[in-house]
Amino acid sequence: MKALTLDAENKTAFVQDVTIPERGQNDVLVQVCAVALNPVDALYVFNPLGSTGRTVGSDFAGVVVAPPDQNEELKRGQRVAGFLQGACSVNIRPGAFAEYIICPADLVWLVPDSMTFEEAASVSLCALTAAQAIFYRMGLQAPFPWEEAGEGSKHNDSKVQNSDDGNSFSFFIYGASTSVGLYAAQLVRRSAEFTGRAITLIGAASSGRFPMLQNQPYAYDALIDYRDENWPERVRELSGGGVDYAFDCISEGSTVQLVSSTLRNSRSRMAIVRSHEGGAWTAEKGLPVEPVYGAVWEGLGIEIQYQNLVVSASPAARRFAVAFYRWISEEYKLQANPTRLMPGGLDRIVADGFVLLGAGSMQDRLSERRTEPWMAPIGAVKLVYRLCSLSDTAIDAIAPIYSG
């Protein structure tokens, strides 16, 4: 098959023929129809952690070619999506930017007929990142059951008093137009609906995004422009003295310190998307609340090693991810993020998509300007590539089974 593979020496990636990975007992083999790009995919091509030849990429959507034996839930020809770790760690495991992938069967979710493969590819990594931060790490009530006892309860300890009053809460999302932020708003709303609690949802984005963010499915109660001076003060005013929960979906430079200053008190909770150890953000003054960081890879339930960081294998995080994907499979209550279909398939990911993403931080993105329509800066949109359409798929059994 064709796959986009790492060229570590030259800090790039190229498409070559590789062997289809061998399927483990509980793995599903998927023909990939679309992939979505995430900042980490480009980050670890431009700053490689591992050896040349590894398959790059995280998010995929496609059709089941071979379900695990004895698995009654997955069938050949079903539309599924998920994410892999790819070349984003020291551990050698194949990624998603390939014609075929293997993935543990309980970590794929069923794509509804109403959703395109490109839309589905935009969901898995970013929606799980948001769900982990909001429910698993900050402890807001999830709208789906997951095992809260045992290991996971340290993240969700009901004995620890939150700053909200039980009947209502305020939630601030910094970077509301990021891919993670768009799912975060929807998940916070689903939680409020599920528990019947009143919510004040406040977001920070550039003002051009306000009309989109004021509408369903995000329905922000208040929005502020992160380029305005004194925006933290506005958030405190809008929330009547500070928010109960804050999620910084950027976590770069001074954002963590500024977002932290919007919290109501020391019992408020805050989550971030980039680690302090990675050096993406700095805080000059002490933070009143320790922000919780976690890598989405935790959801895979396997150890992931970075250069200076080890994400331990966490059965609880894995159970949470499985429960989350089961929820979106069974009652799909999230709207997929807007997508931009990039031309050229696998061959153009490095030349176009990774150029737009830059080397990992939002600041890096500002330098590159090209004139092709698909090379407009990324804003409230997910870059996706089509790898196959159903008409040219090689799965001979699809037609009788596939109903989409």
Ligand X SMILES: NC(=O)c1ccc[n+]([C@@H]2O[C@H](COP(=O)([O-])OP(=O)(O)OC[C@H]3O[C@@H](n4cnc5c(N)ncnc54)[C@H](OP(=O)(O)O)[C@@H]3O)[C@@H](O)[C@H]2O)c1
The token pair at 63 is: 């059709």
39 binds ligand X (CB under 6 A): yes
Residue 395 within binding range of ligand X, rule CB under 6 A:
no
* Region from 8-16, 170-178, 310-318, 345-353 binding ligand X, contact rule CB under 6 A: 170-178
Q: For the residues of 129-148, what is the DSSP string, one character each?
A: HHHIIIIIIS-PPPSS----
The CA–CA distances, whole Å, from 23 to 28, 50, 54, 69, 212 equal 7, 22, 17, 11, 42
* Closer by beta carbon to ligand X, 191 or else 255: 255
Distance in Å, CB of 162 to ligand X, minimum:
22
Q: Is 210 exposed, middle or buried (0-12, 13-18, 19+ CB in 10 A)?
A: middle
For residue 234, state whether it binds ligand X (rule: CB under 6 A).
no
Should residue 368 be labelled a site residue for ligand X when binding is judged by CB under 6 A? Answer: no
Determine if 95 is a binding residue for ligand X (CB under 6 A). no
Residue 209: count other Cβ atoms within 10 Å of its Cβ. 21
- Note whether 263 binds ligand X by CB under 6 A: no
Q: Please tell me whether residue 270 binds ligand X under the rule CB under 6 A.
A: no
Stretch that binds ligand X, among 23-31, 63-71, 176-184, 340-348 (CB under 6 A): 176-184
Q: Which stretches of 8-113 are assigned E, i.e. beta strand?
A: 12-17, 27-36, 59-66, 79-83, 100-104, 109-110
The least CB distance from residue 230 to ligand X, in Å, is 15
Contact indicator for 222, 172 with CB cutoff of 8 Å: no
Window of 34-42, 158-166, 228-236, 328-336 that interacts with ligand X by CB under 6 A: 34-42
- Asked if 178 is part of the footprint of ligand X (rule: CB under 6 A), the reply reads yes
Contacts with 216 (C-beta within 8 Å, 6 or more apart), sequence order: none
Q: Is 209 in the site for ligand X (CB under 6 A)?
A: yes
Q: Are 83 and 40 in contact (CB under 8 A)?
A: no
Q: Draw the binding track, 330-349, toward ligand X (x: CB under 6 A; -: no contact).
A: --------------------
Tell me whether residue 100 or residue 135 sits nearer to ligand X (CB atom).
Answer: 135
How many CA atoms, within 13 angstroms, populate the side-chain half-sphere of residue 197? 21
The DSSP 8-state label assigned to residue 281 in this structure reads: B
Q: Which of 378, 384, 388, 398 binds ligand X (CB under 6 A)?
A: 378
Assess 56 for contact with ligand X (CB under 6 A).
Answer: no
Question: Which residue intervals of 69-227 are DSSP H helices?
Answer: 117-121, 124-131, 179-195, 210-214
Parallel/antiparallel/unpaired status of strands 79-83 and 59-66? antiparallel
Asked if 249 is part of the footprint of ligand X (rule: CB under 6 A), the reply reads yes
**Tokens of residue 184, six digits:** 């975060």
Q: Which of 179, 260, 268, 393 binds ligand X (CB under 6 A)?
A: 179
34 φ/ψ angles, rounded to the nearest 5 degrees: -150, 150
Shortest Å, Cβ 140 to ligand X = 17
Structure tokens at 44: 């670890």
Does residue 305 interact with ligand X by CB under 6 A? no
Give CA–CA dist 179/183, Å, rounded: 7
What's the CA angle centered on 306, arms 257 and 345, to 5 degrees? 95
Provide the phi-psi class of 358: left if phi over 0, else alpha when psi is between -120 and 50, else beta.
left
The CB density around residue 52, as the number of other CB atoms within 10 Å, is: 14
Interaction residues for ligand X, span 117-146 (CB under 6 A): 125-126, 129
- Among the listed residues 50, 77, 175, 358, the single contact to ligand X using CB under 6 A: 175
Examine residue 259 and tell whether it contacts ligand X (CB under 6 A): no
Quick one: 297 or 327, whose CB is closer to ligand X? Answer: 297
Q: Check binding of 379 to ligand X (CB under 6 A).
A: yes
The nearest distance, CB 251 to ligand X, in angstroms, is 7
300 counts as binding ligand X under rule CB under 6 A: no
Residues 61-80 that bind ligand X (CB under 6 A): none
Under the rule (CB under 6 A), what is the footprint of ligand X? 38-40, 125-126, 129, 175, 177-180, 205-206, 209, 226, 249-250, 273-274, 295-296, 362, 378-380
